Structure 1
Amino acid sequence: MTDIRTAHTFDLDAATLKAARALLDDVFGDMTDHDWEHALGGIHALVWEGGELIGHASVVQRRLLHGGRALRAGYVEGVGVRADRRGRGHGAAMMAELERVVRGAYDLGALGSSDEARDFYAARGWQQWQGPTSALTPEGVRRTEEEDGGIFVLPAAVPLDVSAELICDWRDGDVW
């Protein structure tokens, strides 16, 4: 039997955080400390099967600049399901929980998608960003051409023009 739970990072004990990091290390193979840090500080959706963690996703707050405004974004990070448990709706269940959070607390949702997951997010109503992407770095706004086409947004409280520029706030590691 599977169980999905949501909790803020501060409500997760060390063993759960260690299990989540191990799961994501296994899922992605190249998870960095920065990638893990990006998944912390917000709401986690966790899928448990018995006492074993088989799925993780989180949403954290970020600032995105769009249309001359700084928007409060629920940014989705660390979405992964153990390989032998994929295709059973666990990813969709985690995303449903996080989308509820985004719609209730943020101006929009956003995420950077792998090529393999793009259809999954599009089928859930996430829109592929069509315009140029950039990051607000310590040296100023810098284009992130390599991310163009890989950013998805979930409209919530603010109308979006997905053909316009979208700028993310700065962070160490991958900015998107």
Structure 2
Amino acid sequence: MAELLTAHTSALDPGTREAVRALLAEEFVDLGEEDWEHGLGGVHALVREGGVLIGHAAVVQRRLLHAGRALRTGYVENVVVRADRRGRGHGAAPMAASEAVVRGGYQLGALCAADDAVAFYAARGRQPWRGPLTALTPHGPVPTPDDEGEVFVLPGAVALDLDGRLVCDWRDGDLW
């Protein structure tokens, strides 16, 4: 039977952090240092089966700008389920935990979905952002059209115009 644990990055022992990183590296061929860093500093949802880590999702805080407001956003990163454990609900458990964190502490939830995960996120009530996407960079606002169709939001108490502009804060690596 699988067990779910949630903990802040600061509460994860080095062995658990390394297990998460190893699982991500195993499942994502192109996992870079920046991708790893994007998932740190927030709340992790860990799924273990027989003591072995088989699933993970992290919620980190970001600021997204929309309709003249800076929204405190729970941004979901590093979602993964070990390949041989997929299709058994092990992805739903960390996502449900991350959604509870988002609903309990943020105005908005967001993530950037891989093509093969779009249906999964949509089935969980995430809505695709239809409007233009922009990033605040050190050189000013820069449109990010390559990410359009991949950003999904979990609406909260703030009214959203899904056809309006959504702007993310700057970070190294993938902006969304």
TM-score greater than 0.5 by the shorter chain: yes
Listed as ranges, the matches of 1:7-26 within 5 Å are 7-26=7-26
Instruction: Tell me, yes or no, if the aligned pair for 1:57 and 1:79 is still in contact at 8 Å.
Output: yes
Instruction: Tell me, yes or no, if the aligned pair for 1:109 and 1:156 is still in contact at 8 Å.
Output: yes
SS in 2 for 1:157: coil
SS in 1 for 2:110: strand
Listed as ranges, the matches of 1:39-118 within 5 Å are 39-118=39-118
Q: How far apart are 1:167 and its partner, in Å?
A: 0.3
Q: How far apart are 1:22 and its partner, in Å?
A: 0.3
Code of the aligned partner of 2:35: D
Instruction: Supply the distance in 2 between the matched residues of 1:100 and 1:56 (Cα, whole angstroms).
Output: 15
Say if 2:131 is the partner of 1:159: no
SS in 1 for 2:171: coil
Partner in structure 2 of residue 2 of structure 1:
2
How many residues are paired up? 176
Unmatched runs of 5 consecutive residues or more in structure 2: none
Code of the aligned partner of 2:103: R
SS in 1 for 2:91: helix
Cα deviation, 1:16-74, whole Å, max 9, x if unaligned, reads 00000000011111110000000000000000011110011100000000000100000
Instruction: Supply the distance in 1 between the matched residues of 2:136 and 2:68 (Cα, whole angstroms).
Output: 13
Residue identity over aligned pairs, in percent, reads 64
Listed as ranges, the matches of 1:108-147 within 5 Å are 108-147=108-147
Task: Kindly report structure 1 stretches of 4+ aligned residues shifted beyond 3 Å.
Answer: none
The TM-score with structure 2 as length reference comes to 0.99
The TM-score with structure 1 as length reference comes to 0.99
Unmatched runs of 5 consecutive residues or more in structure 1: none
Instruction: Tell me, yes or no, if the aligned pair for 1:106 and 1:157 is still in contact at 8 Å.
Output: no
SS in 1 for 2:162: coil
